[in-house]
Amino acid sequence: MTGSAAAIAARTIAEPSLNRRAFLRSGPLWYAFFFVSGFPALLYQIVWQRALFTLYGVNIESVTLVVTGFMLGLGLGSLLGGTISRSGRWPLLGVFGAFEILIAAYGVCSLKAFHWAGEFTAGSRPLETGLVAFALVVTPTMLMGSTLPILVSYTVRLSPNVGRAVGGLYAANTLGSALACFCAGLFLMRWLGESKTVMLAAGLNALVGSAVLAWHFGIQERHSSPPRSALLPGENASGNACCSHRSTQISFPWAVIAAGIAGFVALGYEIIWYRLFAYTTAGTAKSFAFLLGAYLAGIGAGSLVSNRICEKVSQLPTFMRLLVGTVFGANVLGFLVGPIFFNLVVHVSYLWSLVPIAFAAAGLGAVFPLLCHIAIPADERVGASTSYLYLSNILGSSLGSYLTGFVLMDILPFRSVSMILTLLGLGLSVALMLSAQLGRAKFILSALGVLVAALFVVQSAPLFRGMYAKMLIKQRYAEGMQLAGIVENRSGVIAVTPDGTVFGGGAYDGRFNVSLVHDANGIQRAFALSFFHANPREVLMIGLSSGSWAQVIANHPQIDHLTIVEINPGYLHLIREVPSVASLLQNPKVRIDIDDGRRWLVRNRTSKFDVIVMNTTYHWRSNASNLLSTEFLELVRQHLNPGGVHFYNTTDSPEVMATGVGVFPFGIRLANFMAVSDSPLQLDRGRWLDVLLHYSIDGQPVFDLSRETDRHRLREVMSMAETMDRDSASVYTLESADHIRARTAGLRLITDDNMGSEWLR
């Protein structure tokens, strides 16, 4: 018996304690508590990220900042939990219960705090807003991150098997989070909105915290504290049967490094898989919830498998082979997820793509508990040691999220990013193999790993050929179909079909066309500014897309300046290559800012415009209600000059129309657009006709009245002015605000809280 084992045995004999088997019989309770604790944690993440994106924008910089803040908070929390578990002065279950109640208290007031901070930092520099965003999430995420080391330490005191404890607890918490993702996507966000979802999460935290405290103090009344380690017959005092001798373990520093690399690869994969899934689903709000749910379910399942491995496998060589095989297999499947995904989308359904994602995530999820089991002895420092591995894993995850989403995907195509992650993961498996004491076999297996990596490099191009065409066209895809252009960057994917149709993030985003005579993209709406505004001199346009709308408005005879705010700089690359819109980028009247539209308005409080134009994306897409809600319309109101008009796309949503005339007293519907204002609209058919007759783009008149086709088209366009509140076969009809209010009576208005119809599709 080693000295540490003798000390443990002596404590076990000396300390009065309750029967350990009774504790083990009650063990499922704290696993259940940790499962329920994982459910509100993911609800918070979904809602808090959404709320912060509303305040700080949904551009990639804001997204990266918020996600990194969450991850760093969890990492700091792991250190806090490790410190508490090591001190020996705190009742661990009591601390866990108290932390759950503190998280609930923060959750109750969190959204109000976020909105206050948003007002406080309006117009601040990025560093200042970043620090405030981090401060908003660091406290609750620290509390969340501390719970795993605390419960691992508590569990190992009862059953000294680190891998089994980490695997079981990690699985319970992660599976609770996965369930929350699916519930949020299917009904919670749609039924409850942001504020009530947060209240539900806070209620669950309070319930778990109260139950744990009641259970803890009930146990304390009947028994003394649980032993630090009470061994059942046949158990090894070290707890890790395959790691009972320090010389046969992976060194702890190497395990910390391996945990960081594993976290980097795992989050990198999540980023690229989300891009695939979001592109295929055209960026619906549910796509993030479902992808994350499948990913977390896989992580949880992998943790359960590792739990069984740690319980059953006692031989170090066998354990090391399983660890290396898990890392190797997870990364092979991780690389193949992409090609499998494309073909499932074409031949079956995109929902089936969640299956290979979950299987790959299961392999990734098994790695952390296995590393803990082989590197951490079951002594009084187990909680602290777990916290260091957990911190490394989280820091690696943060770095993987940042470098993959913010750097690699901005400079490399998807295939190359996927290949880099796979090579890094396979490299980890080879390094683990070489560090193991497995004789000559490790060199043979390592060579096999290098060979597989080289094979992936050679075969990657055929496997990924036509991927975006397959995801865009889906079941209608036929071999050989190609897109005319693809722009990939950290802000998303823009695709152009051979007929000039633009798709941003997998959703229709317009066409390259500025001709009103041959109107293929509803460009008539862009020419209509002078119909409802007498003198539009200063115009703001949120969203650029193909540049067709911007080209039309920039060449409007009355306009002096056009400010364009676009979130994705990739559109600028496309516009340069298309002759009909290329001159937009050299037009002295035009200024283009790359930013989130809502954030730009918040940061430019003094900017005023005669017309604010938005050819808004579909109302059901993720974060679309950030530009359609009552709060956003109130923000727009502050940027309109007297008599100013907000002109934006409803994408045929009655709720969007009802919200427009619910906030502004005056307005009309023009086709599927709304024109709303605080002043009566000055509809003037004659003024509009005069402007159209003087309209030219790049020196070419819009209408050449010497041609019958142009004269006929002009009459057709002007006939729209006679369609107010009439049933008409024409798409281009007008509807008054009073008529809209009567037709949409009873519909709810879109708010930041209810998020419109984002969670319905």
Q: What is the pLDDT of residues 631-682, one digit of tens each?
A: 999 999 999 999 999 999 999 999 999 999 999 999 999 999 999 999 999 9
Angle at which helices 382-402 and 126-158 cross, to 10°: 150
Q: Please state the pTM of the whole predicted model.
A: 0.90
pLDDT at 229: 43
Q: How would you class 189 by CB atoms within 10 Å of its CB: exposed for 0-12, middle for 13-18, buried for 19 or more? A: buried
CA distance 15 to 139: 37
Question: Any idea which of 3-17, 394-408, 560-574, 721-735 has the lowest mean pLDDT?
Answer: 3-17
pLDDT at 202: 98
Q: Which fold has domain 513-743?
A: Rossmann fold (3.40.50)
Q: What is the pLDDT of residues 526-576, one digit of tens each?
A: 999 999 999 999 999 999 999 999 999 999 999 999 999 999 999 999 999
Token pair, residue 134, equals 């981090």
pLDDT at 148: 92
Q: What is the mean pLDDT of residues 212-227?
A: 64
CA distance 386 to 392: 10
Angle at which helices 92-120 and 126-158 cross, to 10°: 170
pLDDT of 443 over the 80 cut: no
Q: What is the pLDDT of residues 51-108, one digit of tens each?
A: 888 877 886 777 777 777 888 889 999 999 999 988 777 888 899 999 999 999 999 9
| Chain centre to alpha carbon of residue 301 | 22
Q: What is the pLDDT of residues 103-133, one digit of tens each?
A: 999 999 999 998 888 777 766 676 677 778 7
Token pair, residue 184, equals 């949020």
Cα torsion 177, 180, 185, 189 to 10°: value is -130
Q: Which fold has domain 20-227?
A: Growth Hormone; Chain: A; (1.20.1250)
Which residue is listed with tokens 């990198």?
Answer: 268
pLDDT at 445: 65
pLDDT at 4: 34
Quick one: pLDDT band at residue 226, thresholds 50, 70, 90?
very low
Contact 524, 551 (CB under 8 A): no
Please count the other Cβ atoms lying within 10 Å of the Cβ belonging to residue 700.
11
Please count the other Cβ atoms lying within 10 Å of the Cβ belonging to residue 420.
16
CA distance 51 to 111: 7
What is the DSSP secondary structure assignment for residue 83, as one 8-state letter?
H
pLDDT of 451 over the 70 cut: yes
pLDDT of 760 over the 50 cut: yes
Q: What is the pLDDT of residues 584-610, one digit of tens each?
A: 999 999 999 999 999 899 989 999 999
Average pLDDT, the chain: 87
Task: Quickly list DSSP for 624-686.
Answer: GGGGTSHHHHHHHHTTEEEEEEEEEE-TT-HHHHHHHHHHSSEEEEETTEEEEESS-----HH
pLDDT at 156: 84
**Higher per-residue pLDDT: 246 or 688:** 688
| Chain centre to alpha carbon of residue 758 | 14
CA distance 483 to 84: 57
Q: What is the pLDDT of residues 18-58, one digit of tens each?
A: 344 544 455 567 789 999 999 999 999 999 989 888 877 88
Annotated domain spans of the chain:
20-227, 252-482, 513-743
pLDDT at 23: 46
Using DSSP's 3-state secondary structure scheme, residue 439 falls into coil
pLDDT at 263: 95
Q: What is the pLDDT of residues 137-157, one digit of tens each?
A: 888 999 999 999 999 988 887
> Angle 122-123-127 (CA atoms, 0-180°, nearest 5)?
95
pLDDT at 321: 83
Quick one: pLDDT band at residue 249, thresholds 50, 70, 90?
low
Contact 188, 267 (CB under 8 A): no
Token pair, residue 466, equals 């036509």
Cα torsion 491, 497, 502, 507 to 10°: value is -70
CB-based contacts of 109, cutoff 8 Å, min separation 6: none
In CATH, what number does 252-482 get?
Answer: 1.20.1250.20
Token pair, residue 223, equals 């028994």
Which residue is listed with tokens 């209620």?
Answer: 203
Token pair, residue 217, equals 């103090």
Contact 347, 478 (CB under 8 A): no
Which amino acid is it at 100?
E
pLDDT at 246: 40
pLDDT of 457 over the 80 cut: no
- Which residue in 212, 241, 216, 187 sits closest to 43, CA to CA? 187
Are 20-227 and 513-743 in the same CATH fold?
no
Q: What is the mean pLDDT of residues 740-761?
A: 95
